[in-house]
Structure 1
Amino acid sequence: MAVTVLFLGPLRDLAGVESREFSAPLDWEGLISSVAPEVAEQLRQARVNVACAGKVLADKASLNAQEGDEVALLPPVSGG
């Protein structure tokens, strides 16, 4: 099994896909090195959040996704 990474909003446009599977376990450095450079650049910004297994991580560098986990990459939301 693997970890499913969901690319949401503008990150989906940069990645060119809605989701992608990566080998488990997946940590922050593994994620950064596995995605396109344009996506990695966005992920490093403080305004982008990461959720793992349905919980937004307070520190995205603490990512430790295991087999079957879903990781959502959450771009900032705008609106009024």
Structure 2
Amino acid sequence: MTILLFGITKDIVGSPTLSFPTSSVSGKRMPNTVKELKVYLGKTYPELNKLSSLAVAVNNAYADDDHIINSYDEIALIPPVSGG
């Protein structure tokens, strides 16, 4: 699973992408839903929890928390944006 990071999420993680092994994450099963992924990332990168919102796209489409994710999905974390 590849996770693309944009804006402040890229700064928090320190990289423009994250990759998860297909079998497990730190000996645990891989997150199955967008919500599980958000919880995992929030524990791994606590600064993400401070964002006012965090949209997630799966394969180029916005996804709700109950959306099922698979090891072959491309996921994007989209932080809040402001215009000017």
Bigger Cα Rg = 2
TM over 0.5: yes
Which runs of 5 or more residues in structure 2 are unaligned? Answer: 23-29
Structure 1 pair 49/23, CA: closer, same or farther in 2 (3 Å)?
Answer: same
Higher strand share: 1
Task: Please name the residue that 1:12 is paired with.
Answer: 10
After superposition, the Cα gap between the structure-2 partners of 1:65 and 1:22, relative to the gap in structure 1 and judged at 3 Å, is: same
TM-score (norm 2): 0.69
Q: CA deviation at 1:54?
A: 0.9
1:67 matched residue in structure 2: 71
Asked if the contact 1:7/1:73 (under 8 Å) is kept, the reply is yes
Structure 1 residue runs without a partner (length 5+): none
Letter in 2 for 1:70: E
The percentage of aligned residue pairs carrying the same residue is 32
Letter aligned with residue 55 of structure 1: A
Give the RMSD, CA atoms, in angstroms: 2.1
Runs of 4+ in 1 over 2 A off after TM superposition: 23-28
Query: What secondary structure, in the 3-state scheme, does the structure 1 residue paired with 2:20 have?
Result: strand
**Of 22, 28, 39, which residue of structure 2 is paired with 1:32?**
39
User: How far apart are the structure 2 equivalents of 1:56 and 1:63?
Assistant: 10
